[in-house]
Structure 1
Amino acid sequence: MDEAIIWLTILALSIFVGIEVISKVSSTLHTPLMSGTNAIHGIILIGAIFVAGTADSAPVLVMGLAATVLAAVNLVGGFVVTDRMLKMFSAPNKKTPGKAPAKKDGAA
């Protein structure tokens, strides 16, 4: 029972620290930080797969599988956000749809 309390305490403290760290970041930095942390999400996914693969009991297996799913969603979401960000800044010379072309002087 003592080990379970220690692990729950670590989980609660890590959730608290994570919320505090993320809430202190300005909103303009969230997208660059997301693209920069995709490698960390990959490491978390590998760790979650390792935990699920070496589980000795059903609760540990459930937690490992839940961590694997959440880490995979986080990793894919990071790449989706990065892709959208890169598309937003690429090809600035493309014409915007629905906008009429500008007329030159002397054109009828």
Structure 2
Amino acid sequence: MSTMTIIQMYVFVLAAFTGFLTISRIPPLLHTPLMAATNAVSGISLVASLILAGAKVGVLPTVLGTIAVACAMTNVVGGFLITDRMLAMFKHDTKGASRANKS
């Protein structure tokens, strides 16, 4: 293994560990706003992982880039779905309100 590959593996493992610890220590009440705010960051990491996966530097960076693409895409899609669900809770039910006024 080259020195660059070892450094890349170290950064990948460190980032995964840091991300896991950060997310696991956030109270459940803050998960939805946090995901809504980090969709842009996930999009940036998605672009970077696409570049890494398609760089054809070697087998290991391509595999790690592909894993990163899958993780970032899951995060982006999940973030938008949860944000949409959260925003739907704040919409007013106009049909229900008009029925209540008629009674």
TM class, shorter-length: 0.7 to 0.9
Q: Which runs of 5+ in 1 are unaligned?
A: none
In 2, the alpha carbon distance for the partners of 1:25 and 1:40 equals: 18
In 1, the alpha carbon distance for the partners of 2:2 and 2:61 equals: 16
User: Which structure shows the higher helix fraction?
Assistant: 2
| Alignment of structure 1 residues 81-96 onto 2, 5 Å | 81-95=82-96
Corresponding residue for residue 52 of structure 1: 53
In 1, the alpha carbon distance for the partners of 2:59 and 2:2 equals: 19
Q: CA deviation at 1:57?
A: 1.9
Q: 1:59 corresponds to which letter in structure 2? A: L
CA gap 1:29/1:80 in 2 versus in 1, 3 angstroms: same
CA gap 1:39/1:54 in 2 versus in 1, 3 angstroms: same
CA gap 1:18/1:75 in 2 versus in 1, 3 angstroms: same
* Root-mean-square deviation (Å): 2.4
- Normalization by structure 1: what TM-score? 0.75
Greater Cα radius of gyration, structure 1 or 2: 1
- Structure 1 residues 15-24 or 5-14, which shifts more? 5-14
Corresponding residue for residue 74 of structure 2: 73
Q: 2:18 corresponds to which letter in structure 1? A: V
CA gap 1:61/1:10 in 2 versus in 1, 3 angstroms: closer
Aligned-pair identity (%): 40
CA gap 1:16/1:24 in 2 versus in 1, 3 angstroms: same
- Normalization by structure 2: what TM-score? 0.78
| Alignment of structure 1 residues 21-36 onto 2, 5 Å | 21-36=22-37
